[in-house]
């Protein structure tokens, strides 16, 4: 089996995809921008061949790379990055070379917020009603219908990028000036008091969920960025049955196969949920590592098993909470890394700097710490976030 990994080097914590695929007997071929000697010996040893391109954004250059690897190694069975940024590139390459998996047309339902809403409704899952707006006239009409405050985000966009909270006439005018009708936006009412949470997992080649989990944020991502707040999110030991029911219905409606999924919800004050967004990939950052810590599992290995046609193997260990908690360089905290290790000992699974590209959203220093109870979770967050002043 020939498997092309797009960008095998970055992000660094995704490099185990290459290692585990090779261990599963897969012929792993890499295409990326980094020079070969930058990959390091472990990644070099996991790749049968590495083709360096000048720019992964140059689709024609990447297609030439795939064509070369096809010519040299035979038909390609998989092309994958597991990375939000390259999902469209992956799909275009699969289409060009007739490779298993999502093609460009299949991505429409996971790229556009408006299309996601249709499938959420089809799955019988509550949503917040939204409006697509292309002009200032449509924006004005949508605000009249929905009322303020609303959240405005690109209909085809990633995460909280270019997202605005419109809570006054002044905010609307500022948005209009910045927007300039340059792209299609999606408007939906702002959910007061909602807790941002997820239903995440992995589906096999038949579309069956073989792994599922959920995590909860301390604050919604838009507020996190705008306020430069301290971030914490927690992998849950158990999934709320109502959230699980909604999540499974959505996974069935989207009909994906041999993929990770990351579905975002707001939990309302009445305990119900509204579906926000379906992401056809792993949650970003160090979240996959946190899943592994919480459930004593190696999801890189389990994914490789599925690709190779083997069964998913569940862990026998008892689930734990895993807290992802960050500190920002702009603030002075009472407790540094040494103090955190001293307080929580072996429960600290790692401490890492966050890449600059994600620092504005998440913070600069990241800790993954496991816990057995909600009380321990609260104590971890309080201790790490406690400031000097």
CATH number at residue 275: 3.30.470.20
Q: What single-letter DSSP state applies at residue 230?
A: P
Q: Are residues 154 and 285 in the same domain?
A: no
| Structural domain count of the chain | 3
pLDDT tens for 343-370 read 999 999 999 999 888 888 788 999 999 9
Q: Which of 189, 223, 240 is the last residue of a domain?
A: 189
Tokens (6 digits) for 349 = 């699974």
pLDDT(159) > 80: no
Give the DSSP letter string of 58-89.
-HHHHHHHHHHHHHHH-S--EEE---GGGHHH
Judge whether 107 lies within some domain.
Answer: no
What pLDDT is stored for residue 162 in this prediction? Answer: 82
Alpha helices in 147-196 (DSSP H): 169-179
SS3 40: coil
Whether residues 291 and 339 share a domain: the answer is yes
Let me know whether 140 and 242 are in one domain: no
User: Are 270 and 193 within 8 A, CB to CB?
Assistant: no
Q: Is residue 257 situated within a structural domain?
A: yes
268 and 315 housed in the same domain: yes
Task: From 171, 189, 207, give the residue that closes a domain.
Answer: 189
Q: Which residue has the tokens 């807790």?
A: 195
Q: Which residues pair with 325 in a beta bridge?
A: 232, 367
Within a domain: 304: yes
148: domain CATH number? 3.30.1490.20
pLDDT value of position 160: 59
- On whether residue 379 sits in a domain, the answer given is yes
Q: How far apart are CA 82 and CA 2, in angstroms?
A: 16
Provide the token pair at 87: 């999902």
Q: Could you say which of 169, 189, 209 is where a domain stops?
A: 189
What percent of the chain stands above pLDDT 70? 97
Calculate mean pLDDT across residues 132-138: 94
Domain assignment present for residue 233? The answer is yes
Indicate if 145 and 222 belong to the same structural domain.
no
Q: How do strand 185-189 and strand 150-154 relate by DSSP bridges?
A: antiparallel
pTM tops 0.75, yes or no: yes
pLDDT, residue 389, reads: 79
Q: Which helix (H) or strand (E) element contains residue 23?
A: helix 16-23
Same domain, yes or no, for 185 and 200? no
Residue range 227-238, pLDDT digits in tens: 778 889 999 999
Contacts of 14 (CB under 8 A, 6+ apart): 8, 82, 83, 288
CA separation, residue 56 to residues 81, 93, 212, 317 (Å): 12, 12, 31, 40
Task: Quote the strand ranges of the chain, DSSP E.
Answer: 2-6, 27-32, 49-52, 78-80, 131-133, 150-154, 164-166, 185-189, 195-203, 209-213, 215-217, 232-235, 259-267, 273-279, 321-327, 348-353, 365-371
Assigned domain for 118 exists: no
Q: If pLDDT is split at 50, 70 and 90, which confidence band does 218 have?
A: confident
Query: In this structure, are 293 and 151 located in the same domain?
Result: no
pLDDT value, residue 319: 96
- Residue 27 covered by a domain: yes
Question: What's the pLDDT band for 222 if we cut at 50, 70, 90?
Answer: low
Mean pLDDT within 174-201:
91
Same domain for 184 and 207: no
- In angstroms, the CA 248 to CA 246 distance is 6
* Poorest-pLDDT segment among 40-44, 351-355, 369-373: 351-355
Classify 330 as helix, strand or coil: coil
- Are 133 and 73 in the same domain? no
Residues 255 and 159 in one domain: no
Same domain, 153 and 228: no
Alpha helix stretches (DSSP H) within 208-355: 221-227, 241-254, 287-295, 299-307, 337-344
pLDDT digits (tens, 9 = 90+) for 276-301: 999 999 998 899 999 999 999 999 99
pLDDT bracket for residue 158 (50, 70, 90): low
Please tell me the distance from the alpha carbon of residue 337 to that of residue 234, in angstroms, as a whole number.
Answer: 19
Range of the domain at 185: 129-189
List 260's β-bridge partners, or say none. Answer: 202
Task: Beginning with the edge strand found earlier in the chain, give each strand of the sheet holding 150-154 in spatial order.
Answer: 131-133, 185-189, 150-154, 164-166
Would 121 be classed as within a structural domain? no
Same domain? 80 vs 139? no
Is the pLDDT assigned to residue 224 strictly greater than 70? no
């Amino acid at each position: 089996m020939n498997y092309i990994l797009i960008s095998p080097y970055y992000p660094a914590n995704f490099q185990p995809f290459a290692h585990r695929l090779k261990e599963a007997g897969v012929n792993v071929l890499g295409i990326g921008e980094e020079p070969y000697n930058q990959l390091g010996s472990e990644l070099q040893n996991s790749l049968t061949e590495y083709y360096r391109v000048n720019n992964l954004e140059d689709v024609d250059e990447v297609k030439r790379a795939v064509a070369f690897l096809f010519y040299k190694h035979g038909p390609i069975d998989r092309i994958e990055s597991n990375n939000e940024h390259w999902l469209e590139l992956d799909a275009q390459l699969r289409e060009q070379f007739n490779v298993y998996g999502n093609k460009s047309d299949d991505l429409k339902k996971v790229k556009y917020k408006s299309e996601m809403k249709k499938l959420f409704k089809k799955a019988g899952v509550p949503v917040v009603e939204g409006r697509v707006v292309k002009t200032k006239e449509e924006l004005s009409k949508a605000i009249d219908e929905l009322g303020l405050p609303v959240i405005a985000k690109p209909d085809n966009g990633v995460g909280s990028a270019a997202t605005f909270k419109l809570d006054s006439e002044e905010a609307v005018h500022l948005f209009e000036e910045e927007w300039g009708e340059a792209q299609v936006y999606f408007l939906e009412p702002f959910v007061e008091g909602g807790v941002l949470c997820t239903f995440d997992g992995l589906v096999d080649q038949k579309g069956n969920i073989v792994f599922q989990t959920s995590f909860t944020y301390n604050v919604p991502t838009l507020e996190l960025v705008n306020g430069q707040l301290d971030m914490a999110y927690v992998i849950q030991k158990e999934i709320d049955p109502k959230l699980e029911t909604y999540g499974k219905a959505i996974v069935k409606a989207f009909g994906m196969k041999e993929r990770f999924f990351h579905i975002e919800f707001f939990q309302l004050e009445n305990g119900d949920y509204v579906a926000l967004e379906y992401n056809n990939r792993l949650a970003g950052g160090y979240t996959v590592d946190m899943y592994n810590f919480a459930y004593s599992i190696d999801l890189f290995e389990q994914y490789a098993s599925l690709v190779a046609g083997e069964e998913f193997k569940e862990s026998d260990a008892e689930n734990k909470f895993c807290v992802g908690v960050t500190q920002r360089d702009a603030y002075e905290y009472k407790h540094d890394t040494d103090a955190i290790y001293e307080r929580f000992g072996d429960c600290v699974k790692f401490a890492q700097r966050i890449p600059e590209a994600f620092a504005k959203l998440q913070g600069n220093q990241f800790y993954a710490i496991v816990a057995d109870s909600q009380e321990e979770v609260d104590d971890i967050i309080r201790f790490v976030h406690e400031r000097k002043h």
